[in-house]
Structure 1
């Protein structure tokens, strides 16, 4: 038993060392060299790491590892997705920090898993379904819907009204991320609310294309409007 614990600890340290590399491309290349099933547990554990860079790299890595598992055996990947869902459940005994983001990153990289599980993620932002009451926790689900919308917008169209409602949320990151998400999915009924937000200079974090950035709520609203207008024309 002690030998197993030592092995798990060594593997977690190995994965953490990989995620700490300077180059994101190098991180992904190296993480895929670790046996896929063995990489999952350390990566899920690192979703709660105190370093935000490590957390997001764990999200990104899971978004490559789980789809790679699906290519070998789809049921193994489904099991990981069901495990994510369990972590989101109060019965799990904890809060699934980073889990909605990881679910979304997996689905963004695997259309089959997206078709099966996108509605679950949508339910986390919908007040009539499995709505996440905690503002900070909900940000991950809103980002996740927006992430999928960039790749598979039709699979998350049902989230449009719920995201439009979050444009009125007093939590600025929820507002900004909701604006980004409705722009990605082309949800035109949100346009009037977006116009009312364009002067909001409150800053909010946004993880985009492998980098954690900062953007104002107003900028995200303007960018969303531009996408809506481009789609309409």
Structure 2
């Protein structure tokens, strides 16, 4: 078993190793593997433990939470307190099972009182800030003191957590670094390594003040006998990308878009930050949802954002012409400009450019093809009177 696990870690092949990782012996093997911090393979074992816990959780509800409880128990005096690298393990399990285990947020944060556990705690909270910031929001007071500690690794992890939480649309106002401290951190060129997306990546502390994360996920949706392949991506502020088409092609286009609209951002694969949009899209294609209620992070020129905001005002099942949209945004001579803004719309369906038609009602201009535009309008027409 251990050789199989090492092979999975070496390749970081979570998909190909699903059946092996799902076995309880694998969990025990990974728990033993993380006793020794030996660089990249240690961190991949930490990540694999979270992945494995999520796989077992699919079949055995409550397993991930029970595994975390076992780790907390192993840290108390009654057990002898011998749980090597437990804070990293707990952080990984929580990050891969955020809805099932997010309620352990305070217990994880309180482990930062133990100096030997601080790196794991802050790494875990940083990962939670990416996938489930709601769980990190209440523990501000446990992260704040690390913004000014001497240890660059701890300081950098705290800075990045603050940066991520500051951009979280629903975060408390307290997640703002004071200006005087922020100025010092902007000049902080101390280096640290953070395990993210399978690698130990080097950062300057100052870089992490503005280091964005965009998390994407691809999923198929059914509309009758037709299958939609859709790629969605979210920043801390909200949904910033929704495209239709081949997953490989759409990922490449997303990364190209992110280079322009979010320079320096890490683009990571992940479902959890996109769960709500996936749920609402499922309801939309089933005909049971006519309005989307998720935060939107629109990135474009002021005129483009104005057009996209106007598109989101077009009611379900209705259409406007390019000229009508142009008049509504105060540019009556600009149907062509509206068409260009539609073409640059990064959030299809939810910013419904499919509801904009030609002057005589003709279906013209849709990035993924007019057949898709027709299907979306037909879907809405068939349900708008229900």
Question: TM-score w.r.t. structure 2 length?
Answer: 0.49
Higher helix share: 1
Answering whether residue 195 of structure 2 is matched by residue 215 of structure 1, we say no
Aligned-pair distance for 1:189? 3.0
Structure 2 match to 1:31: 17
Corresponding residue SS for 1:29: coil
Q: Give, in whole Å, the separation in 1 of the partners of 2:69 and 2:95.
A: 17
Structure 2 match to 1:128: none
Answering whether residue 33 of structure 2 is matched by residue 53 of structure 1, we say no
Q: Which runs of 5+ in 1 are unaligned?
A: 1-10, 126-130
Structure 2 match to 1:154: 134
How many residues are paired up? Answer: 207
Q: Give, in whole Å, the separation in 2 of the partners of 1:100 and 1:14.
A: 25
Aligned-pair distance for 1:175? 0.5
Aligned-pair distance for 1:76? 2.7
Q: How does 1:1-233 map to 2 (within 5 A)?
A: 11-19=1-9, 21=10, 23-24=11-12, 26=13, 28-34=14-20, 35-93=22-80, 96-125=83-112, 131-134=113-116, 137-186=117-166, 188-192=175-179, 193-223=181-211
Per-residue CA distance 1:168-189 (angstroms, 9 max, x = gap):
1111111011001111222533
* 1:154–1:185 CA contact under 8 A, matched in 2: no
Aligned-pair distance for 1:222? 4.4
Q: Give, in whole Å, the separation in 1 of the partners of 2:200 and 2:131.
A: 19
Q: Give, in whole Å, the separation in 2 of the partners of 1:160 and 1:65.
A: 29
Larger radius of gyration between Structure 1 and Structure 2: 2
Aligned-pair distance for 1:223? 3.5
Q: Which runs of 5+ in 2 are unaligned?
A: 167-173, 213-235, 238-261, 263-296, 298-386
Q: Give, in whole Å, the separation in 2 of the partners of 1:63 and 1:100.
A: 12
Report the RMSD for the aligned CA atoms in angstroms.
2.5
* 2:105–2:139 CA contact under 8 A, matched in 1: no
Higher relative contact order (CA 8 A, sep 6+): 1
Corresponding residue SS for 2:187: coil
Q: Give, in whole Å, the separation in 1 of the partners of 2:121 and 2:209.
A: 18
Q: Give, in whole Å, the separation in 2 of the partners of 1:204 and 1:90.
A: 32
Aligned-pair distance for 1:29? 2.6
| Distance of aligned partners of 1:63 and 1:107 in 2 relative to their CA distance in 1, 3 Å threshold | same
Corresponding residue SS for 2:49: helix
Structure 2 match to 1:5: none
Higher strand share: 2
* 2:62–2:100 CA contact under 8 A, matched in 1: no
Aligned-pair distance for 1:148? 0.3
